[in-house]
C-alpha cells in the first residue's frame, strides 16, 4: 500500500515538473492560466460575493482548466494515471476480483485448475505487520484460518470468511479502529457473537440495524448455542460503521 503510494506520487511529481515546463514555453496557455488564476483570487477574496464575482469564479476555474488541458499531453497523462490509480484502489477496497467476472466464460468450462499446496506453517512466534492507514481486504484467496487481532488508525476493512474453514471451536476476531468502515462476511453454519463499542456509528448484524452514540452493543445470532463452529467478534471504533453479513 505504502509503496504503491510512493510510486504514484513520484510519477505524478515528475509529470508535474514536465507540465510546468510545457506551460512556461506555451505563451497562450500561460497567459490564459494567469488570467484564470487572477479571476479566482479576486473572486475568492471578495466578501460578500456578488453575482459578477460568482461569474468570475466560474470563469476563472473554466479558463484555468482549459489552459492546463491545452498546454500539452502531460496534463492529460497525469489525469489518466490518477483516474486509473484511484479507480483500481476503489475496486480493491470493495473486494471485487475482476477475474471472477470471467469464470462463466465458455473457454473456462473445460479448464483444468492446478492447486498448489504448501506445508503447514508453525503459528508459534509468528510475527507480521498490518498497515495503520489504508483500505485492506482479508480473505481474497483461500487461506488457513487463524484468529484475527489488529489495530488500524483509519481505513475501510473487509474480512471475508468464505474462503476459509473455521475450526469446530471458539474463533475470535478483534479489531480496534479509529475511523473507517468494517465489513465481516460470514458463511452460514457459524454461530456469531458481536461485542461492539463506538463513539458514533451504525451496526448491521445479519438483519438487525443499530445506531450507536457513545454506546456498547452485545448481540448473538439465533443459532449461536446450537452450532459447533462459533465466531466471537470484538470491535472498538471511534467513528465508523460495522456490518456483519451472512454469505
Tens of pLDDT, residue by residue, the chain (247 residues): 556 677 878 888 888 888 888 788 878 878 888 888 888 888 888 777 777 778 878 888 888 888 877 777 777 788 888 888 777 666 555 555 545 555 555 545 555 554 444 555 565 656 666 777 778 888 777 777 888 888 888 888 898 888 888 888 788 999 999 888 999 998 888 889 999 999 899 999 988 899 999 889 999 988 888 888 889 999 999 888 999 988 8
The predicted structure's pLDDT at residue 152: 87
Co-location of 78 and 138 in the same domain: no
Co-location of 158 and 242 in the same domain: yes
Within a domain: 111: no
The predicted structure's pLDDT at residue 104: 54
User: Which range of residues forms the domain containing residue 17?
Assistant: 2-94
Euclidean distance between CA atoms 118 and 125, whole angstroms: 19
Co-location of 229 and 153 in the same domain: yes
Q: Which alpha helices (DSSP H) does the chain contain, by range?
A: 2-24, 27-45, 51-69, 73-94
Report the half-sphere exposure of 38 (CA within 13 A, side-chain side): 6
Within a domain: 62: yes
Co-location of 89 and 142 in the same domain: no
The predicted structure's pLDDT at residue 79: 82
Within a domain: 123: no
Nine cell digits for residue 142: 483461500
Within a domain: 117: no
Give pTM, 2 decimals. 0.51
Within a domain: 204: yes
The predicted structure's pLDDT at residue 68: 78
At a CB cut-off of 8 Å and minimum separation 6, what does 118 contact?
Answer: none
Euclidean distance between CA atoms 115 and 117, whole angstroms: 6
- Per the structure, the count of domains in the chain is 2
Co-location of 139 and 221 in the same domain: yes
Q: Which of 94, 121, 153 is the last residue in one of the domains? A: 94
Do residues 163 and 202 make contact, with C-beta atoms less than 8 angstroms apart? Answer: no
Co-location of 31 and 79 in the same domain: yes
Co-location of 77 and 161 in the same domain: no
Within a domain: 173: yes
Within a domain: 99: no
What is the DSSP code (8-state) at residue 177? E
The predicted structure's pLDDT at residue 107: 45
Co-location of 138 and 185 in the same domain: yes
Within a domain: 42: yes
Co-location of 147 and 242 in the same domain: yes
Co-location of 62 and 12 in the same domain: yes
Co-location of 141 and 90 in the same domain: no
Phi-psi category of 2—alpha, beta or left, where left has phi over 0 and alpha has psi -120 to 50?
A: alpha
The predicted structure's pLDDT at residue 115: 45
The predicted structure's pLDDT at residue 194: 93
Co-location of 81 and 143 in the same domain: no
Euclidean distance between CA atoms 146 and 166, whole angstroms: 9
Amino acid at each position: 500500500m505504502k509503496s504503491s503510494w510512493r510510486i504514484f506520487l513520484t510519477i505524478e511529481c515528475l509529470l508535474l515538473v514536465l507540465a510546468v515546463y510545457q506551460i512556461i514555453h506555451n505563451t497562450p496557455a500561460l497567459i490564459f492560466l494567469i488570467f484564470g488564476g487572477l479571476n479566482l483570487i479576486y473572486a475568492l477574496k471578495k466578501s460578500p460575493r456578488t453575482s459578477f464575482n460568482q461569474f468570475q469564479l466560474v470563469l476563472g476555474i473554466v479558463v484555468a482548466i482549459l489552459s492546463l488541458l491545452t498546454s500539452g499531453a502531460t496534463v492529460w497523462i497525469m489525469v489518466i494515471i490518477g483516474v486509473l490509480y484511484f479507480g483500481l484502489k476503489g475496486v480493491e477496497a470493495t473486494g471485487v476480483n475482476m477475474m471472477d467476472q470471467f469464470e462463466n466464460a465458455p473457454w473456462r468450462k473445460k479448464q483444468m485448475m492446478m492447486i498448489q499446496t504448501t506445508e503447514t506453517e508453525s503459528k508459534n512466534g509468528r510475527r507480521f505487520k498490518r498497515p495503520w492507514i489504508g483500505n485492506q481486504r482479508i480473505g481474497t484467496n483461500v487461506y488457513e484460518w487463524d484468529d484475527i487481532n489488529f489495530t488500524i488508525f483509519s481505513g475501510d476493512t473487509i474480512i471475508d470468511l468464505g474462503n476459509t474453514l473455521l475450526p469446530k471451536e471458539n474463533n475470535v476476531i478483534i479489531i480496534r479502529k479509529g475511523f473507517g468502515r468494517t465489513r465481516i462476511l460470514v458463511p452460514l453454519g457459524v454461530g456469531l457473537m458481536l461485542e461492539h463499542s463506538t463513539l458514533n456509528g451504525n451496526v448491521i448484524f445479519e438483519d438487525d440495524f443499530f445506531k450507536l452514540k457513545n454506546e456498547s452493543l452485545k448481540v448473538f445470532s439465533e443459532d449461536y448455542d446450537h452450532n459447533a463452529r462459533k465466531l466471537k467478534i470484538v470491535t472498538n471504533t471511534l467513528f465508523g460503521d460495522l456490518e456483519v453479513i451472512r454469505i
